[in-house]
């Protein structure tokens, strides 16, 4: 697909609905520290907004933003809540919560509903709620909700609202197309070609030839203290609790094996599974028209792409799974058809389904003796995991009672290790090659949120293999406050920075001279030679927008600047890390031409169709919110903002 067009198909609606999926964000942290998730959050509280019959509380807004923050922190460990809020997140989340509540009220107003069965199936799909056998576990569900401070009603309401949004907006973009003339014009833009030149003015060519004296170094150091500031550092003391920490665990008995086999009789019975490719359409009429196109010789994939739809592939599904995820009618039709057959439209949970049967797999059953090995392994793993969890619980109770890390380690035979003084992102100043073990990386956020040394905690940490529990009991050993590095330790670095800075400043002045000469029609090569220093040769540029699109977003800055110019001319651009300055000149712009039957026009039509579809979704969202109406409580919103801004989440210093 064309990246050039993809940028304009981003839907704010999709981003907002994704951001405010409170439960799914929370459950993404199933293995994370629990305490850090609750610190300082508002529970319940007054309403920040009313939307029809729905109410959005301060607790819901606060928790949603905190969970979104923790999710973002997985990608940017040094992010602070202050910086996060400065990006306008609170207003975006607030708008998203209002939009989703309005969609829920609008759906109910016009007779739409989300069944308990559909909510049940969505809950069962979440890996966090599955037991060792890969199936939904009520115990795992209850435990995780208790850990996260959630209720069954909150989870179900959240998932139901999400499904309502999917249902309401499912057909909004159906059949969206852009006029052929518009499509061809946009496609022709990709053929546009630009030529120009690139002159690099390196800082090193203009830097002082003599080293700075001590006075110059000292003055530069004082003027740039922030540049040389070292972040707060902490040593972390920790002891790992794993299989080696267990004394002895009894092996599974024969009775245990038989009980497990009987409890999972369906798993070991012969079974038939089917793989399908399906497309869901909003109405029976649309589904019949779609099925007619497929019957006429088009593949499901081609027919779906032409309408801006994405066919879904479901592999090795049982009849029960298809019935749960879709509807019994869909499951019955799929299991009644032959391989390769495309089914007539069938009513599903979210619309009308047209499906093709891609494959049929028949799985033989297993006797008790045949299944014994895997059952014994599973039971043994569960027993070890339960024993390890029990040991971790005992240690956790000791810690809550005030027992120190050292005393806990002595009582349970654990080995305490101490890290180097690390920063909140896990790096060790002066040791760029140092890398923290995975178990310590998992502790960083909470460790940097502790108020002082010696506050022992216990948390789950990554294990070497999936399904194996592993914990760590830990505290902070020593805290070194943030401060500039002593000049004596970094004198050589400061001297090099002084030289580089003066070279960059001189290169910037030289760039201005070149631009002034170009404005007087002096050729670029002559303007460069007039500077009186040795420069790299001029690079000649010639590229089309299509070639830029093939770079998939990794467009060099000089090329991006050249394509941002509206007419021939020249501009300067700073090179990264004060390496120098670039002079980018645009010499010519050759408009693109494209034939109406060029394959690129069809690609552009598909991408622009998606863009139009997203716009329809946005207009529908806005219309729904206007129709339902909402009232904001700015005072309560301000309370949430103040509480978040004044909090000190993990790692924020």
Cα–Cα distance for residue pair 279/297, rounded to 1 Å: 16
Indicate the length of the chain as a whole number. Answer: 653
Q: Are residues 49 and 136 in the same domain?
A: yes
8 Å CB contact between 58 and 636: yes
pLDDT for position 473: 92
* pLDDT confidence tier of residue 17, bands split at 50, 70 and 90: very low
Stretch 22-42: mean pLDDT, rounded? Answer: 39
Cα–Cα distance for residue pair 498/201, rounded to 1 Å: 18
Q: Are residues 353 and 393 in the same domain?
A: no
User: Per-residue pLDDT tens for 323-341?
Assistant: 888 789 999 999 999 999 9
Other C-beta atoms closer than 10 Å to the C-beta of 96 total 21
In 3D, which of 250, 243, 134, 148 has the Cα closest to residue 470?
243
Q: Is the pLDDT of residue 144 over 90?
A: no
- 261, part of any domain: no
Q: Is 580 exposed, middle or buried (CB count within 10 Å of its CB: 0-12, 13-18, 19+)?
A: buried
**Which residues, in sequence order, are CB contacts of 514 under 8 Å at separation 6+?**
199, 201, 524, 527, 528, 531, 570, 572, 583
Stretch 401-408: mean pLDDT, rounded? Answer: 92
- 169, part of any domain: yes
Q: Are residues 23 and 164 in the same domain?
A: yes
- 181, part of any domain: no
Number of domains in the chain: 4
- Return the SS3 of 240: strand
Cα–Cα distance for residue pair 237/408, rounded to 1 Å: 13
How would you label 105-130 residue by residue, b for 16+ Cβ within 10 Å and e otherwise? bbbeeeeeebeeebbebbbbebebbe
**Residue 154 in tokens:** 């909150």
Q: Are residues 586 and 535 in the same domain?
A: yes
Q: Are residues 430 and 499 in the same domain?
A: no
We report the CATH number of the domain holding residue 322 as 3.10.50.40
Q: Is the pLDDT of residue 580 over 60?
A: yes
- pTM, to two decimals: 0.47
Cα-based angle 473, 475, 477 (whole degrees, multiple of 5): 140
8 Å CB contact between 319 and 299: no
Residue where a domain stops, chosen among 338, 364, 390:
364
CA dihedral 449, 455, 460, 461 (to 10 degrees): 70
Enclosing H/E stretch for 135: none
8 Å CB contact between 574 and 583: no
Packed helices 152-169 and 116-125: angle between N→C axes, nearest 10 degrees: 100
We report the CATH number of the domain holding residue 162 as 1.10.4030
* pLDDT confidence tier of residue 278, bands split at 50, 70 and 90: very high
Q: Is the pLDDT of residue 72 over 90?
A: no
**Which residues, in sequence order, are CB contacts of 139 under 8 Å at separation 6+?**
131
**In the chain, what percentage of residues exceed pLDDT 90?**
40
**In the chain, what percentage of residues exceed pLDDT 70?**
90
- 497, part of any domain: yes
- 580, part of any domain: yes
pLDDT for position 573: 94
Q: Is the pLDDT of residue 463 over 90?
A: no
Lowest mean pLDDT across 39-53, 350-364, 482-496: 39-53
Q: Are residues 37 and 155 in the same domain?
A: yes
**Residue 226 in tokens:** 């922030």
* pLDDT confidence tier of residue 13, bands split at 50, 70 and 90: very low
Q: Is the pLDDT of residue 558 over 90?
A: yes
User: Per-residue pLDDT tens for 380-397?
Assistant: 888 888 888 888 888 989
Q: Are residues 315 and 226 in the same domain?
A: no
- 256, part of any domain: no
Stretch 581-606: mean pLDDT, rounded? Answer: 86
Report DSSP letters for 66-118, one per residue. HHHHHHHHTT-TT--HHHHHHTTHHHHHHHHHHHHHHHHHHHHHTT----HHH
8 Å CB contact between 376 and 252: yes
Enclosing H/E stretch for 380: helix 368-400
* pLDDT confidence tier of residue 6, bands split at 50, 70 and 90: very low
Identify which has the larger pLDDT, 45 or 150.
Answer: 150
3-state DSSP of 535-550: CCCCEEEEEEHHHHHC
pLDDT for position 135: 82
8 Å CB contact between 212 and 220: yes
* pLDDT confidence tier of residue 23, bands split at 50, 70 and 90: very low
Q: Is the pLDDT of residue 221 over 70?
A: yes
The residue with tokens 């716009």 is 615
Report DSSP letters for 170-205, one per residue. TTTTTT----HHHHHHHHHHTT-EEEEEEEEEEHHH
Q: Is the pLDDT of residue 1 over 50?
A: no
Q: Are residues 458 and 526 in the same domain?
A: no
Residue where a domain stops, chosen among 364, 398, 432:
364
Q: Quick one: DSSP state of residue 262?
A: H
Stretch 621-632: mean pLDDT, rounded? Answer: 93
- Paired with 201 in beta bridges are 581
Stretch 140-161: mean pLDDT, rounded? Answer: 81
Cα–Cα distance for residue pair 22/63, rounded to 1 Å: 8
* pLDDT confidence tier of residue 646, bands split at 50, 70 and 90: low
Q: Are residues 51 and 32 in the same domain?
A: yes
- 372, part of any domain: no
Q: Which residue range(s) make up the domain with 278?
A: 270-364
Identify which has the larger pLDDT, 581 or 10.
Answer: 581
Enclosing H/E stretch for 354: strand 352-363
Report DSSP letters for 623-644, one per residue. HHHHHH-EEE-HHHHHHHHHHH
pLDDT for position 11: 36
Q: What share of the chain is helix, strand, coil (3-state, %, to 5)?
A: 50, 15, 30
Identify which has the larger pLDDT, 572 or 17.
Answer: 572
CA distances from 570 to 175, 511, 521, 548 (A): 44, 11, 11, 20
Stretch 626-630: mean pLDDT, rounded? Answer: 93
Cα–Cα distance for residue pair 291/285, rounded to 1 Å: 10
Q: Are residues 226 and 240 in the same domain?
A: no
Residue where a domain stops, chosen among 336, 364, 392:
364
> Average pLDDT, whole number, for the chain?
84
Q: Are residues 621 and 576 in the same domain?
A: no
pLDDT for position 45: 61
Q: Are residues 85 and 152 in the same domain?
A: yes
- 351, part of any domain: yes
Identify which has the larger pLDDT, 414 or 27.
Answer: 414
Q: Quick one: DSSP state of residue 130?
A: B
pLDDT for position 359: 93
Lowest mean pLDDT across 147-156, 220-229, 515-524, 579-588: 147-156
């Amino acid at each position: 697909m064309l990246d050039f067009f993809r940028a304009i198909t981003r839907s704010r609606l999709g981003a907002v609905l994704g951001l405010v999926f409170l439960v799914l964000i929370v459950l993404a942290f199933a293995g994370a520290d629990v305490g850090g998730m609750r610190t300082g959050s508002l529970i319940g509280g007054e309403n920040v907004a009313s939307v029809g019959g729905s109410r959005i509380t301060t607790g819901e807004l606060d928790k949603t933003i905190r969970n979104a923050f923790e999710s973002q922190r997985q990608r940017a460990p040094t992010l602070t809540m202050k910086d996060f809020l400065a990006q306008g997140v609170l207003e975006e989340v607030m708008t998203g919560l209002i939009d989703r509540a309005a969609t829920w009220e609008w759906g109910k107003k016009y007779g739409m509903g989300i069944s308990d069965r559909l909510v049940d199936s969505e809950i069962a799909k979440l890996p966090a709620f599955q037991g060792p056998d890969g199936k939904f576990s009520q115990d795992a569900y209850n435990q995780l909700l208790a850990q996260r401070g959630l209720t069954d009603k909150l989870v179900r309401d959240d998932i139901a609202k999400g499904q309502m949004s999917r249902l309401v907006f499912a057909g909004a973009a159906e059949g969206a197309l852009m006029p052929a003339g518009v499509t061809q014009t946009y496609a022709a833009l990709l053929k546009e070609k630009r030529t120009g030149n690139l002159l690099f003015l390196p800082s090193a060519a203009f830097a002082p030839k003599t080293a700075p004296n001590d006075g110059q170094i000292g003055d530069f150091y004082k003027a740039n203290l922030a540049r040389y500031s070292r972040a707060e550092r902490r040593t972390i003391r920790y002891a790992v609790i794993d299989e080696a920490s267990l004394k002895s665990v009894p092996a599974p008995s024969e009775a245990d094996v038989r009980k497990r086999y009987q409890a999972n009789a369906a798993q070991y019975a012969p079974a038939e599974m089917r793989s399908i490719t399906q497309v869901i359409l909003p109405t029976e009429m649309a589904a019949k028209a779609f099925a007619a196109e497929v019957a006429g010789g088009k593949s499901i994939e081609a027919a779906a792409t032409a309408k801006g739809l994405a066919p879904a592939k479901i592999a090795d599904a049982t009849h029960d799974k298809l019935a749960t995820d879709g509807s019994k009618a869909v499951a019955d039709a799929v299991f009644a058809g032959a391989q390769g057959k495309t089914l007539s439209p069938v009513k599903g949970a979210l619309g009308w389904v047209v499906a093709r049967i891609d494959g049929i797999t028949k799985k033989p059953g297993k006797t008790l003796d045949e299944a014994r090995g895997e059952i014994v392994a599973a039971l043994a793993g569960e027993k070890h995991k339960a024993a390890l969890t029990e040991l971790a619980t005992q240690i956790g109770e000791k810690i809550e009672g005030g027992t120190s890390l050292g005393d806990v380690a002595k009582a349970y035979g654990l080995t305490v290790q101490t890290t180097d003084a690390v920063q909140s992102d896990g790096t060790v100043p002066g040791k760029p090659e140092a890398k923290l073990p995975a178990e310590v990386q998992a502790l960083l956020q909470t460790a940097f949120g502790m108020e002082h040394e010696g506050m022992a905690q216990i948390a789950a940490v990554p294990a070497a293999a999936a399904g194996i529990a592993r914990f760590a009991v830990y505290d902070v050993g020593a805290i070194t406050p943030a401060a500039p590095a002593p000049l004596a330790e970094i004198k050589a670095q400061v001297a090099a920075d002084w030289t580089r800075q003066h070279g960059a400043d001189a290169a910037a002045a030289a760039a201005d001279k070149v631009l002034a000469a170009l404005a007087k029609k002096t050729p670029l090569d002559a303007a460069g030679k007039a500077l009186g220093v040795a420069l790299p040769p001029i690079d000649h540029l010639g590229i089309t927008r299509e070639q830029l699109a093939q770079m998939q977003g990794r467009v060099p800055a000089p090329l991006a600047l050249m394509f941002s110019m509206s007419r021939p001319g020249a501009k300067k651009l700073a090179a990264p890390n004060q390496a120098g300055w670039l002079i980018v000149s645009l010499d010519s712009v050759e408009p693109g031409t494209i034939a109406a039957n060029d394959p690129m026009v069809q690609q552009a039509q598909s991408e622009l169709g998606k863009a139009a579809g997203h716009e329809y979704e946005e207009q529908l969202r806005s219309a729904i919110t206007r129709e339902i109406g909402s009232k904001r409580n700015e005072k309560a919103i301000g309370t949430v903002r103040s509480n978040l801004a004044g909090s000190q989440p993990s790692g924020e210093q």
